[in-house]
Amino acid sequence: MNDKKLLYLSQADVESLGLSMAEIVKALEAAFREKGQGRVEMPPKPGIHPGGGDNFIHAMPAYIPALQSAGVKWVSGFPGNQARGLPYITGLLILNDAETGLPLAVMDCVWITGVRTGAATAVAAKYLARPDSSVAGVLGCGVQGRTNVEALQVLFPLERVMAYDLDREAAGRYADDVGQRLGLDVVVVDTPREAVAGCDLVVTAGPILKKPHCTIQAGWLEAGAFASLVDFDSYWHPAAMHEADKFCTDDVPQLRHYQGVGYFQDIPEVHAEVGELVTGQKPGRETPAERTMTANLGLAMDDMAVAPLVYQRAVEHGIGTWLPL
Ligand SMILES: NC(=O)c1ccc[n+]([C@@H]2O[C@H](COP(=O)([O-])OP(=O)(O)OC[C@H]3O[C@@H](n4cnc5c(N)ncnc54)[C@H](O)[C@@H]3O)[C@@H](O)[C@H]2O)c1
């Protein structure tokens, strides 16, 4: 008789667990350390494109032996969904037992995708930003605009956020939400430049475009500032990126893949992968005046660093639905 079971965790189940951003940042840093030491198995992510256009469904498998984590995220991004009243990003993650291969859990991946991306920014910033960074600029006040600031607040003495969104109402909702929840002074600004100039930490999190709109010009990013390009190079003029003293990424092979399909056509030479900064193989910030950047593409490893925490917490708290295998 087969008495094997797996745990199903809905989006509400995952969100109800109360995992803290500090726990997520710690898990991401551990995963990046493993990656820096070449101890993560992460094949390139295959994708299908139903309906064409910018629609995608990607398979993102990873195995991190040190975290006893193995599994795959199956995640879709359908830009037309917003007009249908549906979310842009949806998907599921399967976590396997690293010893036996048996599926342990199937969980909604939307929350994990949101928080792990913010945490990856924070890990890069730990090595690339000035420790006294207190003013963040956010361009794109959606999910990533929120999680990136929340993660940066774990490591930096943040006081103020300069928030810009094409949709002013979205920026207003962001100011209320982030101001209240994180206790930060959020200033809604009218121009992208005001969310870059004068900021110590800049996060661009609008739509990812093959043809960048290049809004951020050379001379806007202050000396000593750090920028996280969550929306790839969409927001940045090449001349502005070339001002960076150190330009980093989370995975060079994945960056080369994206360059091959049309993104990142004019970027600076890569100084280091984030994992190499964490292990100390490559130096992070060396002077207070350097401009630093990371273009984190989002790795399967990021998700697999968080999934075991979700599973363990759910089992401990009796959350979710057990299903027969
Ligand atoms: N690199 C990664 O690992 C990673 C992971 C997840 C998401 N992303 C990307 O991050 C971006 C943001 O994702 P999200 O989940 O926060 O989306 P979201 O839809 O929640 O928020 C996007 C916000 O950007 C605003 N916006 C659109 N164009 C803008 C512009 N030119 N300037 C300023 N604001 C603009 C929208 O009004 C919206 O408020 C997307 O491009 C997504 O693909 C990257």
CA distances from 241 to 53, 101, 258, 292 (A): 27, 43, 17, 9
Exactly one of 45, 73, 126, 282 is catalytic; name it.
73
Provide the pLDDT for residue 37: 98
User: Does residue 99 surpass a pLDDT of 80?
Assistant: yes
Residue of 90, 161, 230, 255 with the most ligand 1 atoms within 8 Å of its CB, for mutation: 230
230 C-alpha vs ligand 1 centroid, how far in Å? 8
- Would you state the structure tokens that stand for residue 227, as one six-digit string? 């920028």
Q: Which atom of ligand 1 lies nearest, measured to the CA of 82?
A: 19
Provide the pLDDT for residue 148: 98
Q: Which atom of ligand 1 lies nearest, measured to the CA of 167?
A: 37
Q: How do residues 154-199 score in pLDDT, each as one tens digit?
A: 999 999 999 999 999 999 999 999 999 999 999 999 999 999 999 9
Provide the pLDDT for residue 1: 52
81 C-alpha vs ligand 1 centroid, how far in Å? 14
Q: 277 and 284 in contact (C-beta within 8 Å)?
A: yes
Rounded to whole angstroms, the maximal C-alpha distance in the chain is 68
Dist. CA 122–CA 208, nearest whole Å: 20
Provide the pLDDT for residue 97: 98
DSSP string, 231-263: TTTTTB-HHHHTT-SEEEES-HHHHHHHHHTTS
DSSP classification of residue 70? E
Active site includes 211? no
User: Bridge-partner residues for 95, per DSSP?
Assistant: 71, 105
Please provide the average confidence, as pLDDT, over all residues in the chain: 96
Q: Which long-range contacts (CB under 8 A, 24 or more apart) does 172-175 make?
A: 173/141, 174/138, 174/141, 174/145, 174/146
How does residue 232 score in pLDDT terms, banded at 50, 70 and 90? Answer: very high
Q: How do residues 265-303 score in pLDDT, each as one tens digit?
A: 999 999 999 999 999 999 999 999 999 999 999 999 999
Dist. CA 67–CA 213, nearest whole Å: 39
Provide the pLDDT for residue 208: 87
User: Does residue 53 surpass a pLDDT of 90?
Assistant: no
- Would you state the structure tokens that stand for residue 86, as one six-digit string? 């549906």
- Would you state the structure tokens that stand for residue 150, as one six-digit string? 């929340």
Q: Give yes or no for residue 142 CB within 6 A of ligand 1.
A: yes
Sorted by sequence, the CB contacts under 8 Å of residue 31 that are 6+ apart come out as: 40, 64, 67, 301, 302, 304, 305
Dist. CA 122–CA 305, nearest whole Å: 15
